């Protein structure tokens, strides 16, 4: 078996194995698939714009004539140098062409097959995972650790640093799609260019508001009883690839903070919300005040328990995670709406 573990894919991309010239890049994260394919292509030829060095094939062509892929893979470079073949698999059946490729001598230095999400028993994936001269590279949605690494990498490249509270805010705002996340981070870096350090106010101005994917906003909408807005924002987050676990984690974190503030209000006379809010919370001040007026500490504690249960159920039932997250947030919104009435 030559299947590459998800954690080892970046190492393979950095140093492709010459003994495995056939590389299948696949997975549900289209942005990450494209990013890794482009990295492999650039590492395999001297000039990606030279049609003699890089042969590009579409799925329709390969499916209609399986021998064409093999012919391209066995073609010697016309003017010397390195040569590669790039196949965009799409939804067509290219398994016969891949099977021919795996059993024949190759002249091209690298054959890169770009595919979408493939089941474990999908023929191209199964063939490449079994072959000694091929590698199958899975591309799954970024985890929180992946997003942290991506943020650090892009900030370092831009010569910027992130304040601790800004970093904590930015990570949950990024979705599971690598290309979309990188685009948001670079937009932030461009906005903050020249100031050296990125703060919460920069993220609020560029990432949250411009992308309409701020997780803070959906939780605020829930505690304000705006059910329609919660549904709309959840739909946007799913489209952007934001994981249900990320949404629930953010909701739990905000709920815990609301509970802390509400306890302080109930236990201390003359408690000042302005004094309690950390820097950068001015954008959400009105929403937080609304939530603290509507919910007391006991009700917030109950909501925390319900949200914790929803998070556990989402982890146990990954296929239903989006539905579980939606029901949990809508339940908060409905309770808020009734209390505000």
CA distance 314 to 307: 10
pTM: 0.57
109, two tokens:
């230095």
Q: Which residue has the higher pLDDT, 81 or 122?
A: 122
- Token pair 């350090």: residue: 197
CATH architecture of 213-341: Up-down Bundle (1.20)
For residue 209, the model assigns a pLDDT of 43
Instruction: Specify the domain boundaries for CATH 1.10.8.60 within the chain.
Output: 144-211
H helix runs in 175-226, sequence order: 178-191, 200-203, 209-211, 215-223
Interacting residues of 241 by C-beta distance below 8 A, sequence separation 6+: 29, 141, 175, 176, 177, 180
What superfamily would CATH give domain 6-138?
A: P-loop containing nucleotide triphosphate hydrolases (3.40.50.300)
**pLDDT averaged over the chain?**
84
Instruction: Specify the domain boundaries for CATH 3.40.50.300 within the chain.
Output: 6-138
For residue 275, the model assigns a pLDDT of 57
Give percent above pLDDT 90 in the chain: 33
pLDDT in tens, 258-286: 888 888 888 776 556 665 555 544 556 77
- Token pair 């601790």: residue: 164
Mean pLDDT across 121-129: 92
Instruction: Specify the domain boundaries for CATH 1.20.272 within the chain.
Output: 213-341
Tell me the helices (H) and strands (E) count for the chain, helix number first.
18, 7
Backbone angle region of 310, left / alpha / beta, with phi > 0 → left and psi within -120 to 50 → alpha: alpha
Check: CB of residue 208 under 8 Å from CB of residue 311. Answer: no
CA distance 108 to 115: 20
Query: For the domain bounded by 144-211, which CATH number is listed?
Result: 1.10.8.60
For residue 220, the model assigns a pLDDT of 85
């Amino acid at each position: 078996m030559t299947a590459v573990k998800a954690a080892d894919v970046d190492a393979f991309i950095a140093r492709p194995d010459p003994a495995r010239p056939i590389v299948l890049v696949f997975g549900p994260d289209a942005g990450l698939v494209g990013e890794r394919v482009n990295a492999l292509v650039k590492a395999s030829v001297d000039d990606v714009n030279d049609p003699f060095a890089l042969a590009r094939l579409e799925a329709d062509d390969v499916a209609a004539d399986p021998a064409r892929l093999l012919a391209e893979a066995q073609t010697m470079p016309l003017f010397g140098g390195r040569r590669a073949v790039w196949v965009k698999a799409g939804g067509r059946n290219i398994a016969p062409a891949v099977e021919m490729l795996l059993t024949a001598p190759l002249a091209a230095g690298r054959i890169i097959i770009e595919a979408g999400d493939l089941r474990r028993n999908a023929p191209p994936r199964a063939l490449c995972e079994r072959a000694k001269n091929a590698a199958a590279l899975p591309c799954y949605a970024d985890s929180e650790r992946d997003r942290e690494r991506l943020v650090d990498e892009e900030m370092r490249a831009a010569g910027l640093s992130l304040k601790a509270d800004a970093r904590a805010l930015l990570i949950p705002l990024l979705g599971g799609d690598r290309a979309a996340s990188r685009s948001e981070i670079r937009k932030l870096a461009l906005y903050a260019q020249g100031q050296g350090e990125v703060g919460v106010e920069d993220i609020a101005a560029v990432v949250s508001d411009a992308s309409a994917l701020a997780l803070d906003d959906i939780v605020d909408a829930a505690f304000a009883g705006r059910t329609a807005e919660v549904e709309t924002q959840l739909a946007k987050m799913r489209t952007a690839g934001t994981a249900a676990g990320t949404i629930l984690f953010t909701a739990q974190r905000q709920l815990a903070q609301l509970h802390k503030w509400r306890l302080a209000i109930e236990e201390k006379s003359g408690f000042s919300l302005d004094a309690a809010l950390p820097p950068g919370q001015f954008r959400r001040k009105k929403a937080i005040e609304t939530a603290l007026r509507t919910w007391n500490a006991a009700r917030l504690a109950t909501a925390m328990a319900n949200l914790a249960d929803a998070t556990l159920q989402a982890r146990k039932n990954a296929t239903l995670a989006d539905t579980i997250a939606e029901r949990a947030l809508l339940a908060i919104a409905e309770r808020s709406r009734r209390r505000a009435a």
